[in-house]
Amino acid sequence: MNILLDQCVPARLGALLGGHGVRTARLEAWDDLGNGRPLSATAEAGFGALITLDRGIRHQQNVKVLPVLVVLVLTRVRGLTYCGSVCRAF
């Protein structure tokens, strides 16, 4: 399965997903797309899954109608250190 890592998901996570094609939103030049757009672009580009840290994704798009598996990674950290803390966790 081809998997897209959303903007704030550490690229290092891709190494843990052996056997899958893993790309990042940044590599796809999608890091400047607005809220909800990466999900639409993911489906259109043929990715089977999107891994994200965006807790608001269910409010931005109707994830049930797109043929993309959405994996929401939850962390306890919030605020400005959010992305850095997640990167250190992986």
pLDDT digits (tens, 9 = 90+) for 57-84: 777 777 677 788 888 888 766 543 444 4
Residue 38: pLDDT band with limits 50, 70, 90 = low
Domain count across the chain: 1
Distance (Å, rounded) from C-alpha 23 to C-alpha 37?
16
Q: How far is CA 47 from the centre of its chain?
A: 11
pLDDT at 51 over 80: yes
Residue 16 DSSP class: G
Q: Which residue has the tokens 């704030």?
A: 8
pLDDT at 41 over 70: yes
* Cβ partners under 8 Å of residue 82, min gap 6: 8, 53, 75
pLDDT at 22 over 90: yes
- Structural domain including 19 reads 2-89
Predicted local confidence at residue 81, as pLDDT: 44
* Cβ partners under 8 Å of residue 12, min gap 6: 87, 90
